[in-house]
Amino acid sequence: MRSYLVLACLAASCSGPKDSGSDSAPGPTDTESPANQDTGVESNWPDIELDPVAADFGEVQSGCSSDPHTITIASVGAADLIVESATLDDTGAYGVQGFDSVVSLAPGETLDLQVVFSPSADLALETVLRINSNDPDEPMVSVELTGEMASALQVDSMVQTTHEELDLLLVLDNSGSMAEVAGLLFSDIAELFDPLDGVDLHLGLITTDMDDPSYSGRMIGGYIDSSATDMATELQARIPDEFTGSGDERGLDAIEAALTEPLLSTHNAGFLREDAAFAAVVFTDEDDDSSLDAASFATWLESLEADAANASFSGFIGDPGGSGCFLVEGDTVVSAISGDKYDEAIQATGGSWWTICASDFTEALLELGTEVSGAQDCFTLSDTPLDGAASFEYVQVDGEDISYGTLDGWTWDESQACLRLNGDSMPDPGSVIEVAYETASDCP
């Protein structure tokens, strides 16, 4: 850009003929700004020029950076150009190098700025680079910066699996206060076995009573295996007729007694298998009074398996945390002491707890069966989704689309970094899960 100084003269100082009878208006002086002068004579003013005035970075993968784009500032006037600042409207996805402080450019000199684009899902993909200088008629000039975030679509296929073999030990509190709730529990017990279809199962039932020698870790009626025609009916037949067991409930001691000598090779012989996964589940309205503490119990329980992840302890207990639970529903009245010691053992072995204060155990027993079967409800993907749940194009189980939802759909579990299939969307054993999602590819 060029500026010109307009030269004019006042009538009183100009030579040559005058137009008599008229007054000449004064013209601009050489002290007026270049914007008001236009005689074609170059002025002594700074002038700025940018190249380019817009930069498109195209597609750049999320989490990666583009090659630098050069923005050239040129001093094209007749006086020094002072570049005062170079700032971005939004600094998130873009960075500027080459300008740290005020720069003076003599006429003909240039300054190169390097701009880099590094997109991600939470950053603006368009912005403006603004450059301020002492150019009198363009004190601020700008460069439009644009770019797009590229991503790759990853498709993962997984199969729902379960344990091939499972040794499941149920521990029933047979004290007097459990009579009513035990009836409710075991009337729904068939739900436990639906997710275990196809698993080679050994099922044993003991009580928390360690005072009566006829219990004290001894399996009631021996264990049941998968050859049973109706495992739920077989189990219900083993429930004690009378709930007169000890009020000193020692569930952890009972489990240890059942799986160690002398019972392991006598009364309970054949139950525990070397290659089978193991799970124990207690049903009680009291906390544990065992001599064995929760941490020692967890260490011992996990030693039963070559892979500690294949041994777990769960429970239907009074709600942990000190308050316990209380339920009045029609004719059903249930109260329970907080099962804090049981909960400590549950947490240490990766199990789960459900409240014992309920009148319907259908859903809880179904969840228990799914958990002890070894089936997954949270699936680890081969790569990291670009933007959490928003990255998923589809989730399918056996070719059927699963919608997003916390009750019966899929969710992305950020804390566990896995795709969670909730409620009815939980895949059956052998089901194929297919997931398509956007992910950040490796940078070039």
Q: Please write the tens of the pLDDT for every residue from 46-58.
A: 999 999 999 999 9
**226-271 pLDDT, tens per residue?**
999 999 999 999 999 999 999 999 999 999 999 999 999 999 999 9
**Mean pLDDT, to the nearest integer, of 121-127?**
81
Q: Which residues are registered as beta bridge partners of 434? A: 157, 396
Structure tokens at 242: 């009378």
**22-79 pLDDT, tens per residue?**
444 443 333 344 444 444 435 789 999 999 999 999 988 877 899 999 999 999 999 9
Q: Which CATH number fits domain 165-373: 3.40.190.10, 3.20.20.210, 3.10.310.30, 3.40.50.410?
A: 3.40.50.410
Where residue 429 falls among pLDDT bands split at 50, 70, 90? confident
- The whole-angstrom separation of Cα 292 and Cα 258 is 14
**Mean pLDDT, to the nearest integer, of 421-439?**
90
Residue range(s) occupied by CATH 3.40.50.410 in the chain? 165-373
Q: For 59, which DSSP code?
A: E
Where residue 160 falls among pLDDT bands split at 50, 70, 90? very high
- The whole-angstrom separation of Cα 128 and Cα 147 is 12
Look at residue 441 in the predicted model and tell me its pLDDT.
66
323/341: higher pLDDT: 341
- The whole-angstrom separation of Cα 77 and Cα 108 is 8
Q: At what angle do helices 340-349 and 294-302 cross, to 10 degrees?
A: 30
**Mean pLDDT, to the nearest integer, of 168-179?**
96
Task: Give how far Cα 353 sits from Cα of 262, 279, 345, 427, 444, Å.
Answer: 30, 13, 10, 22, 48
Q: Is the separation of the CB atoms in 346 and 252 below 8 Å?
A: no
Cβ atoms within 10 Å, residue 340: 17
**Mean pLDDT, to the nearest integer, of 422-429?**
87
**Mean pLDDT, to the nearest integer, of 304-314?**
92
> Which top CATH class is 48-150?
mainly beta
The single residue listed with the structure tokens 């945390």 is: 321
Q: Is the separation of the CB atoms in 249 and 286 below 8 Å?
A: yes
**Mean pLDDT, to the nearest integer, of 180-188?**
91
- The whole-angstrom separation of Cα 335 and Cα 290 is 21
First to last CA, the chain: 40
Look at residue 103 in the predicted model and tell me its pLDDT.
95
Look at residue 365 in the predicted model and tell me its pLDDT.
95
Q: Is the pLDDT of residue 5 over 70?
A: no
Residue 5, helix vs strand vs coil: strand
Q: Is the separation of the CB atoms in 337 and 287 below 8 Å?
A: yes
How much is the mean pLDDT over the chain? 88
Q: Is the pLDDT of residue 343 over 80?
A: yes
Structure tokens at 83: 């570049």
Amino acid identity at 355: T
432/43: higher pLDDT: 432
Look at residue 23 in the predicted model and tell me its pLDDT.
44
Residue range(s) occupied by CATH 2.60.40.10 in the chain? 48-150
Backbone angles phi, psi at 369, to 5 degrees: -60, -40
**360-398 pLDDT, tens per residue?**
999 999 989 989 999 888 999 999 898 889 999 999 999
Structure tokens at 53: 């005035």
- The whole-angstrom separation of Cα 132 and Cα 425 is 59
Which residue, 237, 346, 336, is CA-closest to 301? 346
Q: At what angle do helices 340-349 and 251-258 cross, to 10 degrees?
A: 50
Where residue 9 falls among pLDDT bands split at 50, 70, 90? very low
Residue 131, helix vs strand vs coil: strand
- The whole-angstrom separation of Cα 172 and Cα 281 is 9
Q: For 68, which DSSP code?
A: P
